[in-house]
Structure 1
Amino acid sequence: MLNVDDRIVMVSGASRGIGRAVVDRLLASGFRVSAGLRDPDRLQQTERLMTHRYDAEDAASPISWVRATVARWGGVDALVNAAGINPKVLVSDEGEDELEEMWRINVKGPLRMIRAALPHLSVCGHGRVVNLGSLSGRRVGSNVGYAMTKFAVVALTHGLRREGRAAGIRATVVCPGYVATDMTLNDDEIPRHEMSQPGDIARLVETVLMLPNNASLSELLVHCQFEPML
């Protein structure tokens, strides 16, 4: 397992849900965390926590956030892409506005973050990227638009695994099913108490970040209920 000491992790979507749980978990374990969120004042900065404005739809936002993180701490060891949205889009729907928004935030957002952080992840020898995917990125349910974007996140992760391997970068896509966050408030397929909890997903993210280069995980599927093998 890798040493936590002095490791710097950037986390997007840090104000709520899984992203916030990841921030809390990593801080409790001794990491230094750079939290990206639309309103940086929603988290109080500390010696090991810095906040910075991050807007997944703004192409310049990842660059300024990475620069600020490097200016404060000298580098980046890991990136957790947790920002995402899930408006419902069906094949039969007219218009593409919601699909385009999901594509910008769920797919182009992580891609741009990875590109901005890549030079720094490449020099540390143990760079880590964890993308928050979904079981919707492994099979299609009722929201085909969301599934389309999460299938793309899986592909992005595997592309980075290939391109970054020689530099010691390891990439993992964590694919949970239902998680009890505000994104699933209107889902009634299963009771909320039976959904996975954000803190449990955060614990899995931490484990992935700690694994050595020769024991990396490419995909981590997290089930809160029984499903056929994916």
Structure 2
Amino acid sequence: MTTAACEEGAGRVVLISGASRGIGLALARELLAHGWRVSAGTRQPVTALEEYGADHCHWSPFDARDPASEAAWVAAAHGHFGRIDAIVHNAGILSGKSVIEASDQDFDDIFAVNVKSPMRLTRLVWPHLRAAPEGKVLVIASLAGKRVRAAEGGLYSMSKAAALMLAHGIRHAGETDRIRCTAICPGFVATDMADGVEESIKSQLTQPQEVARIARMALELPATASVAEIPVSWRVETAF
């Protein structure tokens, strides 16, 4: 890690949920390469980050369906690093059901993971973000939270629309404490979720590393630049 990279992150500590693959893993690597220290909250240890060592990277078991794991993660991360400057809500689940097909259980499950867990985690880290020089929250939402493209995406879009409004609620709640919150809203990204698409499309998709670079920018902006949303798409869409 270069001296310049260390200066950019300045030893700041970020919690990233769902950092074992896709956007979460790309973001962890991006931040570690620029001087941040990362606590990854995942269901299994993240072997892909072991090379960074315990001084820079920490892992804690986390399951968005288990509130006890949220409190344990926050306590473990703070105990390991002594501070928390930011949190990235990246963990989430998909649904291919329309709002007509979805059962009450389907609704409860996706909202528990995509909305309620990020809200609880934010409450838990809030005292640490208030103590930080400039606390930051990122919500990895989705363009699906801004429009419904097909019936089978209806339930997922509902949950991401709620996650997007959660980000706005956090942004307003943190105004006086200079805690800034940004919602990153990617479209289709070349993760394992895109394994089944045609090769001609897959080669054009937004890459996880590109979303990670945008997310790092949002985390490193000063509090004088409050950015509410950043929509990202692999193709030109109607303006949001």
* Residue of structure 2 equivalent to 1:70: 78
2:168 counterpart of 1:163: no
Instruction: Answer yes or no: is the 8 Å Cα contact 1:86–1:183 preserved in 2.
Output: no
**What aligned pairs does 1:68-147 form with structure 2 within 5 A after superposition?**
68-93=76-101, 95-142=103-150, 143-147=153-157
Instruction: Answer yes or no: is the 8 Å Cα contact 2:19–2:46 preserved in 1.
Output: no
Please state how far the C-alpha of 1:112 moved relative to its aligned partner. Answer: 1.4
* Residue of structure 2 equivalent to 1:185: 195
Secondary structure, in 3 states, of the residue corresponding to 2:203? helix
Instruction: Answer yes or no: is the 8 Å Cα contact 1:63–1:116 preserved in 2.
Output: yes
Instruction: Answer yes or no: is the 8 Å Cα contact 1:141–1:147 preserved in 2.
Output: no
Please state how far the C-alpha of 1:201 moved relative to its aligned partner. Answer: 0.2
Instruction: Answer yes or no: is the 8 Å Cα contact 2:15–2:39 preserved in 1.
Output: yes
2:58 counterpart of 1:50: yes
* Residue of structure 1 equivalent to 2:30: 25
Instruction: Answer yes or no: is the 8 Å Cα contact 1:125–1:169 preserved in 2.
Output: no
Question: Equivalents in 2 of 1:199, 1:122: separation in Å?
Answer: 29
* Residue of structure 2 equivalent to 1:172: 182
TM-score by length of 2: 0.91
Q: Which runs of 5+ in 1 are unaligned?
A: none
Letter in 2 for 1:146: Y
* Residue of structure 2 equivalent to 1:198: 208
Q: Identity over aligned residues, as a percent?
A: 38
Please state how far the C-alpha of 1:59 moved relative to its aligned partner. Answer: 1.0
Instruction: Answer yes or no: is the 8 Å Cα contact 1:89–1:99 preserved in 2.
Output: no
TM-score by length of 1: 0.94
Question: Equivalents in 1 of 2:218, 2:186: separation in Å?
Answer: 14
2:230 corresponds, among 217, 220, 224, to 220
Please state how far the C-alpha of 1:96 moved relative to its aligned partner. Answer: 3.1
Secondary structure, in 3 states, of the residue corresponding to 2:174? helix
2:164 counterpart of 1:154: yes
Bigger mean CA deviation after superposition, 45-54 or 151-160? 45-54
